[in-house]
Amino acid sequence: MLKKIKIILEDIKIQHTVFALPFAFMSAFIASHGIPPPDKLLWLFFAMVGARSSAMSFNRIADKDYDRKNPRTKERALPREKINMYQYIIFLFISSFLFLLSCLMLNRLALILSPLALLIVFFYSYTKRFTIFSHFFLGLSLSLAPIGAWVAIREEISLASMVLGLAVLFWLAGLDIIYACQDVEFDRRYGLFSFPARFGISRSLRLSAGFHIIMTLFLFSLVFIENLGILYIVGVLFIAGLLWYEHSIVKPDDLSKVNIAFFNVNGIISIGLMVITIMDIIF
């Protein structure tokens, strides 16, 4: 049993919760104007793990037939039959229950909004079948992290949480466009929709850079909305530098460093911005 759980956790890349979780904690600290209650942070953590695990397990189930045909994804657990569909569905239900339970323990508004959040993150898995804006649906799914964290702390949706959510939306949309460049030929062959499949790799990378500029502008606007200080400004400048580096190492004729850009650089971006923001708020 533990071996099967380990396979699923590896398959959904549980470690990539690091992309959205720091933005949730960042939002929680801003909403609290200091250190949030420990119990809120604990249930927020469980909510994030449950939501992402639900979303990724649903995605693996929905995409199993495409994953079997795609050279990049054919080694995943379902195509290789390391896990059967029944076991994956059980994991999906357990993850969804963890998310719903966490929302129940947070507050009433979080619980009311929780089914809508699950609907959004599940719906993303089908968007590549009919729209090139699937990248933005992925961004929307992760933008719920800072918005939901604000709801967890203050039981409201604020302008600040929406702005931070928009920053995450454009960050992930731009990032997913870079990642999708690897599948451009596969997408075209099987009728899947993406920016690279529609516009080509070179133009898509320029659009991705533009979306990351928009992300940076949204992050800067929080200085005025929440009266954040110099440490936060330095953090945003640091993030802008990392985004520039990310785009400098991915070329239209050389996608060999896409994984470095996708995983390493963006892990530093999310964790780094969280740490600097928390330091700014506390000190």
Q: Is the model's pLDDT at 263 over the cut of 80?
A: no
Q: What is the mean pLDDT of residues 167-192?
A: 95
Per-residue pLDDT band at 281 (split at 50, 70, 90)? very high
pLDDT at 87: 92
SS3 state of residue 254: strand
> How far apart (Å, rounded) are the C-alpha atoms in residues 75 and 55?
20
> How far apart (Å, rounded) are the C-alpha atoms in residues 280 and 61?
41
Q: Is the model's pLDDT at 254 over the cut of 90?
A: no
Q: Is the model's pLDDT at 262 over the cut of 90?
A: no
Q: What is the mean pLDDT of residues 217-226?
A: 95
Q: What is the mean pLDDT of residues 52-79?
A: 93
Residues 93-140: tens digit of each pLDDT: 999 999 999 999 999 999 999 999 999 999 999 999 999 999 999 999
Longest dimension (CA), the chain: 54
Name which CATH class applies to 2-282: mainly alpha
For residues 142 and 168, the answer to whether their CB atoms sit within 8 Å is yes
> How many other C-beta atoms are found inside a 10 Å radius of the C-beta of residue 51?
30
Residues 136-169: tens digit of each pLDDT: 999 999 999 999 999 999 999 999 999 999 999 9
pLDDT at 161: 96
- Could you tell me where the DSSP H helices lie in the chain? 2-11, 21-32, 38-62, 64-69, 85-106, 108-127, 134-154, 159-180, 184-190, 195-199, 201-225, 230-249, 258-259, 266-282
pLDDT at 35: 95
pTM of the model: 0.94
pLDDT at 231: 94
Percent of the chain with pLDDT over 70: 99
For residues 9 and 60, the answer to whether their CB atoms sit within 8 Å is no
Residues 23-49: tens digit of each pLDDT: 999 999 999 999 999 999 999 999 999
Helix axes 230-249, 266-282, angle to 10 degrees: 170
DSSP 183: G
Q: Is the model's pLDDT at 18 over the cut of 80?
A: no
pLDDT at 32: 95
Per-residue pLDDT band at 50 (split at 50, 70, 90)? very high
For residues 99 and 57, the answer to whether their CB atoms sit within 8 Å is no
The DSSP bridge partners found for residue 251 are: 254
When the pLDDT of each residue in the chain is averaged and rounded to a whole number, the result is 93
Q: What is the mean pLDDT of residues 224-247?
A: 94
> How many other C-beta atoms are found inside a 10 Å radius of the C-beta of residue 30?
27
Per-residue pLDDT band at 19 (split at 50, 70, 90)? confident
> How many other C-beta atoms are found inside a 10 Å radius of the C-beta of residue 283?
7
Percent of the chain with pLDDT over 90: 82
